[in-house]
């Protein structure tokens, strides 16, 4: 059956954001879709660690925090892909292997994993699989976007983020619903199917074979050395270093997420299906936060938006104390409704606070090394997430919060919320004006020296399955 030209044009313009449909495009889209849909196992991992391994909240936070390591060293995978082709190809083999690694990791969790160390290794390998595929997909996007106009490039990157968000929304509710009908291990087995989609679609990636003896390869090796020198020169400049330190300190403040998960399931009796419903609502609320920032707040200075976001987020975060102390019941609000309302407000505010971080990181990148610099900044942000998890685990242990003892949970929530105010005295480390204008006065590197394919990837909001960073933030690096 023939498809009318008007229908094809509508499909291209409306659903593909103006990008020409092709098997290669759908292959790249599949990577981002799988990244989003792997959230299907998010709750299963938490319940597996809590119920089957019998770990405490502190141990759970420490275990899941370590799985963020691949996202801390993500630029390394980009350098490996560029400098170490497999059978003469720099992209396709890495995608194929990452899909296989992901499937094996989830199958291991479904069958042979029984100890804490085995679980940590399996989750780490699953995270490594997603990190590698994310780097390769980012490089493919930027390589193809570079051949198009600026507007077309932006539409391609936005399409990738939208597909990942769609995958995340689809699984937000079903992550809990599946646990009502299947065991944790059965959910892992179902999840193991999706990385194979990346492996299968990778064969449709169009790529020329690299000649290892060519002058192009030698030029890339020389450029890599120059790239490292330029990155070091840029990072050591105060106009770039001080904002990086501010963001790192702020995002390294301890988290009480694992302890709160135990409280909601063991103390309040929230079922997986309800937690999946909360995930769905918070995912939609996060998109609302992104829209509010883009629509009303993106022109506000970084000092103002981040300063007030930190203060307001801290105040709103204190509402969790009402749930922890059961004060919400005293004012006639059911635990379930209070949790949903609280999650919506905190998710919207959390995204409003996080979006300027992305934009600031993009604006800090000097011309000529934008993508690599942004990937480095995102790795530093991911490292701060790892530190936050481990500090939270330490505090959870020190306060004696366990799977049954929540007497000091209120104190843990109070301290973790107040700790986010610690960077406020350093607010002047953030730029008062556009940092790119200041950075441009210090450094301007020739575009021929830039590894533009080291594009930004993911940041750790869920440590083992990080959320994809909206790529439109990186577009702001273009003068």
Q: What is the pLDDT of residues 113-125, one digit of tens each?
A: 999 999 999 999 9
pLDDT band at 395 (very low <50, low <70, confident <90, very high): very high
- Look at residue 342 and tell me if it is in a domain: yes
**Angular region, 222: left φ>0, alpha ψ -120 to 50, beta rest:** alpha
Q: For residue 144, give its domain range.
A: 22-475
pLDDT in tens, 260-307: 999 999 999 999 989 988 888 888 888 888 788 878 887 888 899 899
Report the C-alpha gap between 252 and 172 in whole angstroms: 26
Contact criterion met (CB below 8 Å) for 339 and 278: yes
E strand or H helix at 301, and its extent? none
Per-residue pLDDT at 444 exceeds 70:
no
E strand or H helix at 3, and its extent? none
pLDDT in tens, 302-311: 899 899 999 9
- Look at residue 7 and tell me if it is in a domain: no
Contact criterion met (CB below 8 Å) for 37 and 167: yes
pLDDT band at 479 (very low <50, low <70, confident <90, very high): very low
Residues in the chain: 479
- Look at residue 127 and tell me if it is in a domain: yes
- Look at residue 101 and tell me if it is in a domain: yes
Report the C-alpha gap between 66 and 200 in whole angstroms: 29
Within 10 angstroms of residue 277's Cβ, the number of other Cβ atoms is 19
Per-residue pLDDT at 24 exceeds 50:
yes
Rounded to an integer, the average pLDDT of 390-401 is: 94
Domain CATH for 146 = 1.20.1250.20
Residue 467 phi, psi (nearest 5): -85, 140
CA distances from 297 to 22, 353, 469 (A): 36, 10, 18
pLDDT band at 427 (very low <50, low <70, confident <90, very high): very high
Report the C-alpha gap between 94 and 100 in whole angstroms: 10
User: What's the domain count of the chain?
Assistant: 1
Structure confidence at residue 394 (pLDDT): 94
CA distances from 60 to 4, 213, 409 (A): 54, 48, 16
As beta bridge partners, residue 444 has 367
């Amino acid at each position: 059956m023939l498809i009318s030209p008007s229908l094809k044009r509508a499909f291209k313009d409306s659903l593909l954001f103006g990008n020409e449909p092709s098997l290669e495009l759908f292959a790249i889209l599949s990577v981002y879709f799988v990244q989003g849909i792997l959230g299907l196992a998010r709750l299963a991992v938490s319940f597996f660690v809590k119920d089957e391994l019998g770990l405490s909240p502190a141990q759970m936070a420490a275990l899941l925090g370590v799985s963020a390591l691949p996202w801390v060293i993500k630029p390394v995978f980009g350098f490996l892909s560029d400098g170490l082709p497999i059978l003469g190809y720099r992209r396709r083999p890495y995608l194929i292997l990452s899909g296989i690694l992901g499937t094996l990791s989830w199958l291991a969790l479904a069958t042979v994993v029984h100890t804490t160390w085995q679980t940590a290794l399996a989750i780490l390998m699953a995270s490594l699989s997603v990190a590698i595929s994310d780097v390769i997909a980012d490089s493919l996007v930027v390589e193809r976007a570079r051949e198009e106009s600026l507007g077309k490039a932006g539409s391609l990157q936005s399409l990738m983020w939208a597909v990942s968000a769609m995958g995340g929304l689809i699984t937000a509710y079903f992550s809990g619903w599946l646990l009502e009908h299947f065991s944790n291990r059965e959910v892992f087995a179902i999840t193991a199917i999706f990385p194979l989609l990346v492996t299968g679609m990778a064969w449709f990636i169009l790529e020329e074979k690299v000649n290892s003896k060519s002058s192009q390869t030698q030029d890339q090796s020389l450029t890599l050395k120059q790239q490292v020198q330029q990155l070091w020169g840029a990072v050591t400049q105060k106009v770039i270093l001080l904002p990086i330190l501010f963001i790192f300190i702020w995002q390294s403040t301890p988290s009480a997420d694992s302890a709160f998960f135990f409280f909601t399931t063991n103390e309040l009796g929230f079922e997986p299906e309800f937690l999946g419903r909360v995930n769905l609502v918070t995912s939609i609320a996060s998109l609302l936060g992104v829209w509010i920032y883009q629509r009303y707040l993106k022109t506000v200075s970084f000092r103002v938006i981040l300063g007030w976001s930190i203060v307001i987020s801290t105040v709103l975060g204190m509402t969790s104390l009402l749930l922890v102390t059961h004060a919400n019941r005293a004012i006639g609000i059911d635990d379930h409704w209070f949790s949903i309302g609280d999650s919506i407000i905190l998710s919207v505010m959390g995204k409003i606070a996080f979006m300027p971080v992305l934009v600031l990181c993009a604006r800090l990148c000097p011309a000529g090394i934008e993508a690599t610099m942004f990937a480095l900044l995102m790795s530093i942000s991911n490292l701060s997430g790892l530190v936050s998890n481990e500090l939270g685990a330490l505090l959870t242990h020190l306060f004696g919060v366990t799977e049954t003892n929540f007497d000091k949970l209120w104190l843990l929530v109070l301290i973790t919320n107040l700790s986010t105010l610690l960077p406020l005295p350093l607010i002047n480390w953030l730029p008062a004006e556009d940092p790119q204008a200041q950075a441009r006065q210090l450094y301007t590197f020739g575009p021929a020296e830039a590894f533009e394919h080291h594009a930004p990837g993911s940041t750790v909001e869920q440590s083992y399955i990080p959320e994809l960073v909206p790529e439109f933030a990186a577009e702001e690096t273009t003068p």
